[in-house]
Amino acid sequence: MAKKTIYHGSVSIIEKPVFGMGNPYNDYGLGFYCTENLELAKEWASSDSEKSGFANIYEIDLSGLKVLDLTDKEYSILNWMAVLVNHRTFNLNSDISIKAKEFLTKRYFVDVSQYDVVIGYRADDSYFRFARDFLNNTISVEKLSRAMELGELGKQIVLISKKAFDALRYIESVPAEKQIYYVKRVERDRQARAAYNTVTRASSVDGEYINDIMRREEKDAN
């Protein structure tokens, strides 16, 4: 289907998103971050227990747009990690994490600036921690993949290019009451952390860690 209804959670009503505005250090760089889940957008709008927000509703026509879907089977969790480490700020305080970033960038990076729209995971607080643990060689790629499915995080859809912004049509904005959705946001994060702790405490040591992957690919290259 060429047209999608998407939602952007914010403390403000945004009828006309402005291309080129925002935080360049978000998951996929500078862009307009949305979801196809109305309830999730209301949670994103409720980052503060003191202030309610809005879920801004839009329709986007994807016809003629170049779309990168990092959750497609063509890509792996390592592609997502490579994009993330090149946009978000990580504290690279170990040799392994520094080497891991260099390796992921060289081997798995996808240049999102070549696309109009990007679809992929959202690395909010808990999920950013999962990615950081993988980078520091403390969880396997299999556990990272399972962790990203915890807490019903869902996907985000990000408008990258002006062409994508021009394809967006504002519909309306609906309230996201802080007394409801801030509580839901905190609970979703709590559940994700609890589930992650269960996964990481599992006795199984099966799977590859980032150090294993780097060694294997270096060996295969020789």
pTM of the model: 0.88
* Cβ–Cβ under 8 Å, residues 143 and 163: no
CA distances from 158 to 32, 33, 39, 120, 164 (A): 5, 5, 17, 8, 9
- How far is it, in rounded angstroms, from Cα 120 to Cα 100? 21
Average pLDDT, the chain: 88
Query: Any idea which residue has 């700020």 for tokens?
Result: 89
| 60 Cβ neighbours under 8 A, 6+ residues apart | 3, 4, 6, 117, 157, 159, 164, 167, 168, 169
Paired sense of beta strands 53-61 and 67-69, if any: unpaired
Instruction: Supply φ then ψ for residue 8, to 5 degrees.
Output: -125, 120
Question: Which residue did the predictor score with more confidence, 32 or 217?
Answer: 32
Confidence tier at 55 by pLDDT (50, 70, 90): very high
| 125 Cβ neighbours under 8 A, 6+ residues apart | 189
Which of 19-33, 49-63, 65-79, 151-165 is least confident? Answer: 151-165
Asked whether residue 221 carries a pLDDT value surpassing 60, the answer given is: yes
- How far is it, in rounded angstroms, from Cα 216 to Cα 211? 9
User: How confident is the model over 17-26, as a mean pLDDT?
Assistant: 89
- DSSP string for 35-74: BS-HHHHHHHT---TT--EEEEEEEEE-TT--EEETTSTT
Alpha helix segments (H runs only) across the chain: 38-44, 77-85, 95-108, 125-135, 141-147, 162-166, 178-201, 210-221
Confidence tier at 205 by pLDDT (50, 70, 90): low
